[in-house]
A = this chain, B = another copy of it.
Amino acid sequence: MIKDWLDQVRWDENGLVPAIAQEIETNDLLMVAWMNRDALKLTVKVGEVIYWSRSRKRLWHKGEESGHVQKVHDIRLDCDADVILLKVKQIEGIACHTGRYSCFFRKLEGSGLDVCWTIDEPVLKDPNRIYK
């Protein structure tokens, strides 16, 4: 019997794998969160990204509160089968809870080891207006 596609994913000891969301048009990285078996199955079924929230310990339909839904285009798996890559269209162009386009808004600046993290992406929408 052929192994089920969900069984081919190497879920960790908590039944989770990291899932990376990448914007389909630009290939920009948007965010990283976690998925369990149900989250991945529902994501495929619904066509929108559903993560597992480790803090809230429940399924988290991305954008359920903010409207910043992620429409699924492609789903990929890495060679070790322990990381998922989601190619998505990010609705409203805001993935981050800080109101920014991407969660990777901090960049290491400086020279040698004399460096610091600087913010180089603007807030597009006030989080107070995103989460009422």
CB < 8 Å neighbour of A107 from B41, B76, B100, B103: B76
Chain B residues, Cβ within 8 Å of A98: 79
Contact of A5 among B18, B28, B75, B117 (CB under 8 A): B117
Cβ-closest chain B residue relative to A97: B79
User: Inside 8 A of A117's CB, which chain B residues have their CB?
Assistant: 5, 8, 77
Question: Could you name 13 residue pairs across A and B whose Cβ atoms are closer than 8 Å?
Answer: A5-B115, A5-B116, A22-B29, A27-B28, A29-B29, A31-B78, A41-B113, A74-B107, A77-B104, A77-B108, A79-B100, A79-B105, A81-B106
Binding site for B on A (CB under 8 A): 2, 5, 8, 18, 20, 22, 26-29, 31-32, 41, 44-45, 74-81, 83, 85, 96-98, 100, 103-108, 112-113, 115-117
